[in-house]
Amino acid sequence: MGRYSLRLARLALRESKSGLTTVAVSLLLILLMTIAASAAGKGKVLYSFCALPGCSDGSYPEGGVIFDAARNLYGTTNVGGAGYGTVFTLTLDSGKWILKTIYTFTTAEDGFGPTNLVFDNQGNLYGTTGYGGGSLMCSNGGCGTVFQLVPVNGVWTKNTLYAFTGGADGSVPLTGVVLDNAGNLYGTTWEGGTNGAGTVFELVRSGNVWTEVVLHSFTGGIDGGTPLSGLVLDNRGHLYGTTSRGGSANFGTVFEVAPTQNGWRERVLHSFTGSVSDGAVPWAGSLILDRAGNLYGTTSGGGTSNFGTVFQLSRPQPGVVIETILCNFLGGNDGSAPYTGVIIDSAGNLYGTTSVGGIGLNGTVFTLTNVGGLWTKKVLYSFNATNGSEPFGNLVFDRVGHVYGAAASGGPHDTGVVFEIAP
């Protein structure tokens, strides 16, 4: 359910024929907001995006946030600035977080709709725009780009490393990229490729020249299709990700793309069935790896109540993959539809978000604690529109274990917030 559906639900409550007076309905809504605020615990909003005339800070931060070495936060807004999205930093100054826009996408050809970011070890930023780039094959001014931002004396310079054409090279990269030790970039496109069902791609760096190589073109069949998530890279150079459809039941897959003597090879590790004992439709969240090589992720649907799951894939021996459902979301106060993945702390506990549900109806931040092999879920924070709504982006830890993220909408202007939670 998107933000407009939630607004309609609230409107229906106000205008219901249940016999409640306007005053009674107002008091009920105030009570719900108070309960939601109390459920937020130690959470707080660090920054609310403006989106009013004269504001240039952007709107709808869908990609979450990351830290630099100096513990400043960086993120993107999907639109705003000059109209096509921004890259921003938040710096803590005398107890207040100050936002600075370090880049604004000025035209559709420049890029449109940035999401996740990643740093290299020189402090350069890399990301993708889902649209823009100038190709006539796609709407919204192009088929998407991969970009780099380089800081020089406090001024960030943008380089477009690759603009997708919408053909065999892929189109619409809706999430970010990962880097290997040589500085090459890897990512996915939602569409395009030889079969039109998306790709896994590499940008190979040689000096200042970047060359795209398609590692796999999805067919939309057994191998999966339309990947919405990013990739994770292990220490062997193998890539892991999810597709939102395809597989044996067309509910999506977890896949591995690995280098071989004969080129890169894709292998499906798990096909989601959508049953009560499995998930369905993994969305935009990238997988994570623990120190033992287990994979963790989320599905937006499926499970016992069809409200989504958190899953683990383990490989006890070569060729054997075992899926374990760690959590089934129940809807309502428990939350539902986790659109992004999870992160893991040093103790092996998982943290993530649901895009809707919770006491405030607008999503949650949750934790899964593992004690003796038993996973226990706890809602840490419930969004109530005032403090944010629809947390679509990735979470990140600071040095003391506080959790930071962004909600794509909500806040005073319903255009998103950046938040912090002290578990």
Please state which of the ranges 1-5, 363-367, 386-390, 405-409 shows the lowest mean pLDDT. Answer: 1-5
Give the pLDDT confidence score for residue 372 in this predicted structure. Answer: 87
Give the pLDDT confidence score for residue 423 in this predicted structure. Answer: 81
**Amino acid letter, residue 91:** T
- Per residue in 333-371, pLDDT tens? 999 999 999 999 999 999 999 999 999 999 999 999 998
What's the chain's average pLDDT? Answer: 90
- Per residue in 309-336, pLDDT tens? 999 999 988 889 999 999 999 999 999 9
Mean of pLDDT values over 136-140:
88
User: Which residues share a beta bridge with 280?
Assistant: 301
Could you tell me the pLDDT band of residue 27, with boundaries at 50, 70 and 90?
Answer: very low
Give the pLDDT confidence score for residue 19 in this predicted structure. Answer: 36
User: Is a pLDDT exceeding 60 seen at residue 16?
Assistant: no
Give the pLDDT confidence score for residue 146 in this predicted structure. Answer: 98
Give the pLDDT confidence score for residue 201 in this predicted structure. Answer: 98
- Per residue in 270-283, pLDDT tens? 999 999 999 999 99
- Per residue in 81-95, pLDDT tens? 888 999 999 999 999
User: Is a pLDDT exceeding 80 seen at residue 33?
Assistant: no
Could you tell me the pLDDT band of residue 31, with boundaries at 50, 70 and 90?
Answer: very low
**E strand segments, 281-319:** 288-289, 295-299, 301-302, 309-317
Contacts of residue 231, Cβ cutoff 8 Å, sequence gap at least 6: 177, 178, 186, 187, 188, 200, 239, 240, 241, 286, 287
Contacts of residue 364, Cβ cutoff 8 Å, sequence gap at least 6: 334, 335, 353, 354, 357, 358, 379, 380, 381, 382, 383, 391
In the chain, the domains with their CATH numbers are 42-421 (2.120.10.30)
Mean of pLDDT values over 48-65:
88
Spatial strand order of the sheet with 288-289 comes to 288-289, 295-299, 309-317, 320-328
User: Is a pLDDT exceeding 60 seen at residue 415?
Assistant: yes
Q: Which helix (H) or strand (E) holds 119?
A: strand 112-119
Candidates 315, 411, 317; CA nearest to 48 is 411
User: Strand, coil or helix: what is 176?
Assistant: coil
